[in-house]
Amino acid sequence: MSSELDVVVLGEALIDIVTTSAGAAERPGGSPANVTVALGRLGRRAALVARVAPDERGRVLEEWLAASGVSLHSAGAPARTATARAVIDGNGDAAYDFDIDWVLPTPVEVPAARIFHTGSVAATLAPGADEVRAAAQRARSTALVSYDPNIRPALTAGVEDARARVEAIVALSDVVKASAEDAEWLYPGVPAVEVARAWVARGAGLAVITDGGEGSLGVTAHGHVEIPAVATRVVDTVGAGDTFMGALLDGILDLSGDVEDMRAAVRALDDASLPPLLHRAAIAAAITVGREGMDPPTRQDLQRSAAPKESA
């Protein structure tokens, strides 16, 4: 078996301090870290490049990542491990307040992998966001580039700055996945499908917009499909989008072993080949929202849920 990584993710790992009606608890998380865990659970060789302090919370993050087979590579050690205070409402939705230091070495060292993924705070918070964009640019020569804006408005310099940063990385990306909420914040009043089409016109091979219980849509130069959400009992939406992203990348990795062939296959996706890819990612997300915390499915979980049910 090749020692090459399937996916390397550059971005934040942090501790979510989650408050619900039952009280407060600390959970490891961060959107990029969640994506690596989702990939690791699916059996992929994944690594995270992040800033984690040598403190108790940092050790919790390292152990959490390692439990899913994810290797952690240092991008420098902050004074303390980043946190995000998340308040979960009665619908299971989360609102966040962050304490994060995002200063990266220049250049940041990123291990080689078939896919380079980034997004969220890492791609919009200065000063590290500039190096994240540069790392994506460097990665393009050897890896498929994937991006999830996962906007945290409180950590941006405003919508215009965030939009410029997002569009710069979209232009470097083969795969872009965003929530409908992010698309609306970036482009008020513009239909999600038009945002996806604009991103494909800007250079993305595949643009996906997810909208929770309303399902998802995918756009390439050759197709536009809409996929209904998978019915499930919602327990906790934390990590649902990141699980969708991880399962989407897992499916893309199956398209080809060669990076350039995989890139071509992504850009050739059409109305016939897109739905199975998106539906499988939606199943993975549905499994996660049916569980408390960021607890994505294993490959076996996903295979069982995706298998056709026998009629009585």
Q: Which residues have CB under 8 Å from 307's CB, separation 6+? A: none
Assess if residue 312 is contained within a domain: no
Q: Cα–Cα distance between 94 and 239 in angstroms, integer?
A: 10
For the chain, the domain total comes to: 1
* pLDDT tens-digit readout, 161-187: 999 999 999 999 999 999 999 999 999
Is 311 among the domain residues? no
pLDDT band at 60 (very low <50, low <70, confident <90, very high): very high
Return the percentage of the chain with pLDDT > 90, whole number. 82
> Which residues share a beta bridge with 144?
115
**Cα-based distances in Å from 150 to 85, 183, 256, 306:** 16, 10, 27, 26
Contact 30, 82 (CB under 8 A): yes
Q: State pTM to two decimals.
A: 0.94
Assigned domain for 231 exists: yes
Residue 267 inside a domain? The answer is: yes
Contact between 68 and 29 under an 8 Å Cβ cutoff? The reply is: no
For residue 310, being part of any structural domain is answered with no
Domain that holds residue 277: 5-305
Percentage of the chain exceeding pLDDT 70: 96
State the DSSP string of 270-299: BTTTHHHHHHHHHHHHHHHHTSSSS-PPPH
Task: Please report which confidence band the pLDDT of residue 102 belongs to, taking 50, 70 and 90 as the band edges.
Answer: very high
CATH number of the domain bearing residue 247: 3.40.1190.20
Q: Determine, yes or no, domain membership for 135.
A: yes
- What tens digit of pLDDT does each residue of 250-277 get? 999 999 999 999 999 999 999 999 999 9
